[in-house]
Chains A and B, each alone.
Chain A
Amino acid sequence: MQKITRLVAVRTASILALMLVLLLVSCEQILMDAPPSSKDNAAVFDSMWETARTKYTFFEFKRIDWNAMREKYRNRAIQAADNEALFNVLAAMLNELQDDHTNLVSKFNLSRARPFFNDSLNYDSDILNRVYLKNQELYTGSLVNAIVERGGRKFGYIRYASFLSPLDSASWGFVINRFRRENVAGMILDIRNNGGGAISNCNFLASHLATERCTVLTEMTKNGPGAKDYNPPQSLILTTAQPSFNDKRVAVLTNRNSYSAASFFPAMLKAPEFAHVRLIGDHTGGGSGLPIDFQLPNGWTYRFSGTKTFVPAGRITRAQALAAAPNANHDVDAEVGYNFEGGVPVDIRVTMNLADRTRDAILERAMDYIVNGR
């Protein structure tokens, strides 16, 4: 009896174990689609091209014929002899988007577009430090701050080098109290060469400069593969915060390397509730689309813009738009507002002469504005 019972037990257990193993390893193999081959250059290329075709947001604005890019690059990708060659082809196609939110990332390289690589820098930290800050600046959290004096007047200077650096109320409060104590004529907020970061830091700064609650930006997000598939525009509303600095003039210094969040923040300042603020320097670098990340069948990752953001209609003139982005199609979404992907136009444009090591023309012009209001 024991033998038979054992046999029954063994047989039952074997059947159950077999079923379990089969289920564990193969159920979804029957039902799931096979992923594209990681070693097939055509599959890798097609994955990137098709994803961008359905999800990138600025083809029309930048007058880019994406189908033509497929014609131009697909055969080159297929013929790429090794990973480095394939990377270079894919990066070249992505760079056709002229979008600094676009990168291809592999273990051996990171591609970047740098659309304003050849533009004037309009910033020199050496001039700034030697002529104006003189090693007297304070490092208060992420805010490098100093009192700059000219003609018997004091100006509160803040350098915020990256929107990735966190901002906090204690640091901001310390700096503002210091400026109040020193009775500065106004504030200069320098975000030149600021490559962007967290949009929440834009909110932080703007909410401490705004005179009232206001609509600052309008955003549209892709909600389908068609060229016109977007959610209705959503207004982004800002509330004020304390301690504020909205009773004296504020100059925000920008250049073409003020990108992404460092363009979102100046774009916010175009609202009427920032009448005391002027953008001075060069137009910003743009970057109005929040980047989204994807992956290729061979494991490389890449990203590009997946939204578009606007300065609400009526705040930027056509002449200003063309000055900042002369090649863009500004008729696209014109009723929504100004798409600042090509840059936020400055109120007062100044070009630095980097050969002159004795002055920062943009900073000097900012002090003029604070004194004269022009």
Chain B
Amino acid sequence: MRRILTFCVCVSVCCIRVQTAQAQDSSASASHSYFITPPPPPVVMPPVGNASYLITRFGGGSGVVQDAALSPLRYLGPGALTGTEYRAYQETTFLSIAADIQGNFLSPSIGNDLSPAQIVGVQVLPSLTLAFRVVNEEASALRVYAGGTAQGITHIKLQTAYGNSATASDVYFGVGAFGRVEKDFSLFGQAFRASSQLSLPLLGAANRPSYSTTVRYPATAISNPLGILSEVRGVSIAAFPILDFRNSLEFMLGSGNFLALNYDWNFYSYTHFNKVQSARHAISVAFLFKF
């Protein structure tokens, strides 16, 4: 727990430092008059207030899974993702409704020459976030939002091995804290917006539907048709730490639309008989359509 909190604080401080450095650099360059020719006209970033975006993104990434229900080995490998988001800025609020889906094809860290098994994992991450602007430094175009988020994770893993294949899945729904830092700046005469956000669910419910990884009996009908072998548990961040860290560099196109390069990382760890740990990296390109 302490490791996780330390990690979060370090990451957040790093992000803010980078953005502050950029701000200082911009103002420093503006205060010196080295120009021989007149400077290009300043690029005007549209005001963030009262703008709504529909965001679609595509990309690739990687995944790491260590799921003791399937294997003691660590699995890692490449993946692909897509996602969509509705994002609305009001004067002082930030609203986001988003869902990502990422599929990973993972191989054991000891190599396929020693292990024939692989894991195909699909992770779905819906979220609903509402945050309020708590810092608005107009001079440096820096904004900080803080608020709450409701997040879900559904992670289905299929391990292919000799004989039967084994499946395991995790389902989580939680509510928690959300922080986002945004900064507008110009570079090469173009308008950019950088942002970092961190979601930290604090309380939730987790469900690991099956203790064993047995394929359920496919009877014509069974007395409990859903085969409920699951157990929903209330969990706190101590029992189910989740970190969701997202960074974006947005380049303004015409008409207030943006093209963005994103980097996301999330991690979760859960112990319910078996320890399950999973991390995901993703780099994606997104189109932000203003409407």
Q: How far is the CA of A203 from the CA of B64 in the complex (A)?
A: 39
With CB as the reference atom, state the residue of chain A lying closest to B162. Answer: A105
A239 contact from B26, B32, B221, B277, Cβ within 8 A: B221
Q: Which residues of B contact A27 (CB under 8 A)?
A: 7, 265, 267, 279
Q: Which residues of B contact A326 (CB under 8 A)?
A: none
Q: How far is the CA of A219 from the CA of B6 in the complex (A)?
A: 47
Q: Known: A236-B217, A298-B114, A301-B163. Is A31-B263 also a contact (CB below 8 A)?
A: no
Whether B215 lies near A23 (C-beta < 8 A) is: no
Q: Mark B180-224, 1 if CB is under 8 A from A, else 0.
A: 000000011000000000000000000000011111011111111
Q: How far is the CA of A110 from the CA of B161 in the complex (A)?
A: 13
The reply to whether the CB of B35 lies closer than 8 angstroms to some CB of chain A is yes
CB of B63 to closest CB in A, whole Å: 10
Q: Mark A233-266, 1 if CB is under 8 A from B, else 0.
A: 0111111000000000000000000000000000
Q: Which residues of A contact B166 (CB under 8 A)?
A: 292-294
Q: Which residues of A contact B11 (CB under 8 A)?
A: 23
Q: Known: A5-B29, A303-B163, A307-B212. Is A295-B115 also a contact (CB below 8 A)?
A: yes
Flag the segment in A14-22, A138-146, A331-339, A364-372 that touches B.
A14-22
Whether B220 lies near A207 (C-beta < 8 A) is: yes
Whether B7 lies near A223 (C-beta < 8 A) is: no
**Which residues 153-179 in B have Cβ within 8 Å of A in the complex?**
159, 161-166
Whether A301 lies near B221 (C-beta < 8 A) is: no
CB of B209 to closest CB in A, whole Å: 10
Q: Known: A33-B275, A234-B227. Is A293-B7 also a contact (CB below 8 A)?
A: no
**Which residues 295-339 in A have Cβ within 8 Å of B in the complex?**
295-301, 303, 306-307, 309
Q: How far is the CA of A30 from the CA of B164 in the complex (A)?
A: 33
Whether A5 lies near B220 (C-beta < 8 A) is: no
The tally of residues in B whose CB lies under 8 Å from a CB in A reads 68
CB of B213 to closest CB in A, whole Å: 5
A299 contact from B14, B73, B218, B281, Cβ within 8 A: B73
- What is the number of contacts between chain A and chain B, taking CB atoms within 8 Å? 197
The reply to whether the CB of A351 lies closer than 8 angstroms to some CB of chain B is no
**Which residues 190-218 in A have Cβ within 8 Å of B in the complex?**
198-200, 203, 207, 216-217
Q: Which residues of B contact A30 (CB under 8 A)?
A: 3, 7
Q: How far is the CA of A8 from the CA of B109 in the complex (A)?
A: 40
Q: How far is the CA of A24 from the CA of B265 in the complex (A)?
A: 8
Q: Which residues of A contact B275 (CB under 8 A)?
A: 33
Q: How far is the CA of A259 from the CA of B138 in the complex (A)?
A: 76
With CB as the reference atom, state the residue of chain B lying closest to A198. Answer: B218
Q: Which residues of B contact A307 (CB under 8 A)?
A: 212, 214, 217
Whether B187 lies near A103 (C-beta < 8 A) is: no
With CB as the reference atom, state the residue of chain B lying closest to A232. Answer: B224
Q: Mark A25-47, 1 if CB is under 8 A from B, else 0.
A: 00110111101101000000001
Q: List 26 A-B contacts (CB under 8 A).
A: A1-B39, A4-B34, A12-B18, A12-B21, A12-B187, A19-B15, A24-B281, A31-B4, A33-B277, A47-B72, A55-B212, A105-B161, A217-B217, A217-B219, A221-B229, A224-B273, A225-B273, A234-B222, A290-B214, A290-B215, A292-B166, A292-B212, A294-B166, A295-B108, A298-B114, A301-B163
Residues of B within 8 A of A (CB): 3-4, 7, 11, 14-15, 18, 21-22, 25-26, 29, 32, 34-35, 39, 62, 64, 66, 70-74, 108-111, 114-117, 159, 161-166, 187-188, 211-215, 217-224, 227, 229, 231, 245, 249, 263, 265, 267, 269, 273, 275, 277, 279, 281
- Not counting A1-B39, A239-B221, a sample of 11 additional A-B residue pairs whose C-beta atoms are within 8 angstroms of each other reads A8-B22, A8-B29, A8-B187, A28-B277, A31-B7, A38-B110, A54-B273, A292-B212, A293-B159, A296-B72, A303-B163
